[in-house]
Structure 1
């Protein structure tokens, strides 16, 4: 769980909050956070996205996307007028200084006319413990902090999503400097009243961006929080406390398995004497589609199609939530530990959509593994019956039964099989009994087509033949015959976890032949087929 620093105005010392104290901190933050928005309040935002830092740092891909998404949600849900929101794409340090100084001048004019105001400054890009890295120029952290906290706005919020590294391909081989962290001087110098800072990571950690999300983890979850996912009280409002708590929890969960390591977002603030700072009002804005998420699971909303970018991620455990989205077509995925639900959803303006009634299709665990999502493996145990043309001379058909254990991975499905076959042939008063025991292992490539799966592959094995005679005295015969199978297979899933299958193929065997002349060998190629049923887990 995230660790946070909480400073209460009035000279009290900072309190360090662990997992148990974080919920209490959120409640206290809700009681202390800044002035509520009202008709006479002006809201300003400066959003900075910097893809390029210093020359030795990897180029970030989604800093600009972070700022655009945050701008959209602030304008549509947060009472920020479009003309009061400035997005700076890849600026240098001087441009940031100038833009923030001009915004502060506008805010001073508001104050002169007795109008309250809120200032939000957001940065997505590279940084270290001393400064922000802006295309080869440096903006000292102390300067940005002073420009923000010194504003005449009644409430000032600084959000820093400072990435020193990207996903795996942008971490590998990169020499990392000291990552951004909230400076320790705040402990001794104190926080200006009405000022709050949110950071995407704590000291010693690296903020990260995700190719799957097409944005940074922290900003992605912060935007989801502002769209209604953090509305714990169900009043249609998202406060600073609710937004931070949701974004922090989801960032920790999303970065547990990443190469960059777990991120623990942090905050510092002093908002004494004010009621709750409402950042967005998703439940009170007209023109947006309401999507209710009632069933537990992890939800991904993708724009228009399965391969589209993720525009919203939400984790539902017990409490149902309502997300507010722009009208349009979405492809929604609901992840559970052992399967994935998928459905196209059309969200119209001011339309209420209950996902419980969506036309869900189910992707089972093995299919989910092959899609590269969720667990890395799944297993199946199945029983098969069938047979094939006899390998030994005189046996036209050999019925067989087998048990098969399969391991599904993202690349291939691996099979291990034990088979028992038995055949009896009577000819000219002589009864010949043939018992064949086989062990095989192989691999298949599986292609999923909804409830059906088609696969093809090979298996390598060996069969132990034991042939005995009745009706005359003759010694038993045995031999070990290696063989190679090539096969195709089709599976269908009538119910969850259960499947029926059919497979057919050709078997090339190596068989020794005894005769009155010199022993010889042959390599018969015979057809085989089988029907089976099994369970996956």
Structure 2
């Protein structure tokens, strides 16, 4: 076989070897990313996320067990050697004829070696480590890059690569070579999509975007055709430097070569049947694209994703809309045109930080105490408008406060309104539900009706004295608060928080200062 080299060697060949007729029941994956190479290599931006994405697709759709997937997000030469030792230990527990080893590396390289954190890993040394793992099938994928500005050319262009050998299988025999670009062309990575162009589109195809016949299986031909056209289109549109993937086949098939299976116990997202529409899918809070899908007029394109929350942007010409969806395991979410809301294109450019449901209405209950108040309870309706990482709110409220002195029992009924300004911090998730923390300041005004009843009211009543007096007044002030919010669905959230505020209350004896603190719980709807 003629040895050919390029960045992003044979990504499609990886799953090709994995999927042929279930010939390899034990599959071991080493996925490594290295942003830094030798001292004269400019740092890359996306190898770590590329390696993670490869791991995720293999473990969710490519029949690789989680404990057989070795991920090195910031690989060093020593860590790579240790990963091969671990892979050899796993493989040693099985017959070699049952084992497939897949090695994926994204980073810098040259003709003779990989560049990993200031050290070179020669091809011969890498091949020796691979050979020591007892496996019937060994597949090596190298995606080596060099940086430019937004669109980055990748290294290892037109240089020797690693042979992909496929042993005889019932459904297919031979070999598959896939290159991210043709001889003499640069493979590229993009900041906008957060990874390598070909890898990005190929993984989207394997998730189901390339499933043209809708049978829940993605074949080699479907995945390569999808990745080829989208890589060529994006490279021409982004910088005018064409990138044309190519494939060399020496393959004998008894049946179509299925690479991934997207149906089954997984979450699926189906897009509307519309031509000339581009959909970008982000995990909530993420700054990189999970998948990029083109709509089709004759079918609803489906992709498979991990369960969780996603923002889906739709771009048609100069216009843009967006939708937020929640996916759970074993379900299919079918998007319709009515699910999307119009947004300015500059807002869509914010990606995962975009707020699809900026308005919320919540019912809150606050329990508080402080000076001049033994215990109080307040109900409020909070109407909030969110803009990116900031939010402002208006909240009418009402409640009751109690206080006991040596001579009197005091009850205060109050009502008023509050204005708030918050800074929002998006965190990770709790059981798949996105969370955020908001910290802010309040300004409030309230009207108070006070009832004061003497403790010796029975004796005073027998003497003909008034036992209860009534007063009214007002109070103004402000305070600070912090809250933790979890959103189990795109349209609902629950919240818990702490607050402290100071009021100046006007009484018959003058202005009385009050310092109060409390805890609140609330539930709200997003729209």
d(CA) in 1 for partners of 2:311, 2:164:
47
Q: 2:224 aligns with which of 244, 247, 256?
A: 244
Partner of 2:58: 74
| Counterpart check, 1:137 vs 2:137 | no
| Counterpart check, 1:203 vs 2:187 | no
Residue 156 of structure 1, CA deviation: 3.4
**After superposition, what is the alpha-carbon deviation per residue over 1:396-431, rounded to whole angstroms, capped at 9, x for unaligned?**
xxxxxxxxxxxxxxxxxxxxxxxxxxxxxxxxxxxx
SS in structure 2 of the partner of residue 257 of structure 1: helix
Residue 341 of structure 1, CA deviation: 2.6
CA contact (8 A) 2:272 2:335 kept: yes
SS in structure 1 of the partner of residue 156 of structure 2: coil
| Counterpart check, 1:316 vs 2:298 | no
Structure 1 segment 331-370 matched on structure 2, within 5 A: 331-363=311-343, 367-368=344-345
Q: 2:80 aligns with which of 93, 96, 104?
A: 96
Q: 1:41 aligns with which of 21, 25, 33?
A: 25
Partner of 1:221: 201
Residue 281 of structure 1, CA deviation: 1.7
Structure 1 segment 441-480 matched on structure 2, within 5 A: none
d(CA) in 2 for partners of 1:35, 1:347:
26
d(CA) in 1 for partners of 2:218, 2:164:
27
Structure 1 segment 10-409 matched on structure 2, within 5 A: 36=20, 38=22, 41-100=25-84, 102-104=86-88, 106-107=90-91, 109-112=93-96, 116-141=98-123, 143-144=125-126, 148=130, 152-168=134-150, 179-181=155-157, 183=159, 193=167, 196-259=176-239, 261-268=241-248, 270-272=250-252, 277-284=257-264, 286-296=265-275, 297-304=277-284, 308-318=287-297, 319-363=299-343, 367-368=344-345
d(CA) in 2 for partners of 1:278, 1:191:
18
**After superposition, what is the alpha-carbon deviation per residue over 1:456-490, rounded to whole angstroms, capped at 9, x for unaligned?**
xxxxxxxxxxxxxxxxxxxxxxxxxxxxxxxxxxx
CA contact (8 A) 1:228 1:321 kept: yes
d(CA) in 1 for partners of 2:114, 2:240:
20
1:82–1:265 Cα change, 3 Å:
same
Partner of 1:404: none
SS in structure 1 of the partner of residue 238 of structure 2: coil
1:155–1:216 Cα change, 3 Å:
same
d(CA) in 2 for partners of 1:58, 1:325:
33
Indicate the RMSD between aligned Cα atoms, in angstroms: 3.9
**After superposition, what is the alpha-carbon deviation per residue over 1:100-153, rounded to whole angstroms, capped at 9, x for unaligned?**
3552564355235xx523322211111223322111212234554575588654
Partner of 2:369: none
Residue 299 of structure 1, CA deviation: 0.6
CA contact (8 A) 1:331 1:343 kept: yes
d(CA) in 2 for partners of 1:122, 1:44:
11
CA contact (8 A) 2:269 2:335 kept: no
d(CA) in 2 for partners of 1:197, 1:316:
29
**After superposition, what is the alpha-carbon deviation per residue over 1:252-308, rounded to whole angstroms, capped at 9, x for unaligned?**
222213348232334445555675554432112x14244344222111012226x74
Residue 221 of structure 1, CA deviation: 1.7
| TM-score (normalizing by structure 2) | 0.54
Gaps of 5+ in 1: 1-6, 8-12, 16-26, 374-537
Partner of 2:493: none
1:179–1:140 Cα change, 3 Å:
same
d(CA) in 1 for partners of 2:107, 2:240:
16
d(CA) in 1 for partners of 2:270, 2:164:
43
Number of aligned residues: 335
Partner of 1:513: none
Partner of 2:501: none
SS in structure 2 of the partner of residue 118 of structure 1: strand
SS in structure 2 of the partner of residue 247 of structure 1: helix
CA contact (8 A) 2:33 2:73 kept: yes
Which protein shows a greater Rg?
1
**After superposition, what is the alpha-carbon deviation per residue over 1:87-112, rounded to whole angstroms, capped at 9, x for unaligned?**
12332335424533552564355235
Structure 1 window deviating more from structure 2 (248-257 vs 262-271): it is 262-271
d(CA) in 1 for partners of 2:88, 2:248:
22
CA contact (8 A) 2:17 2:166 kept: no
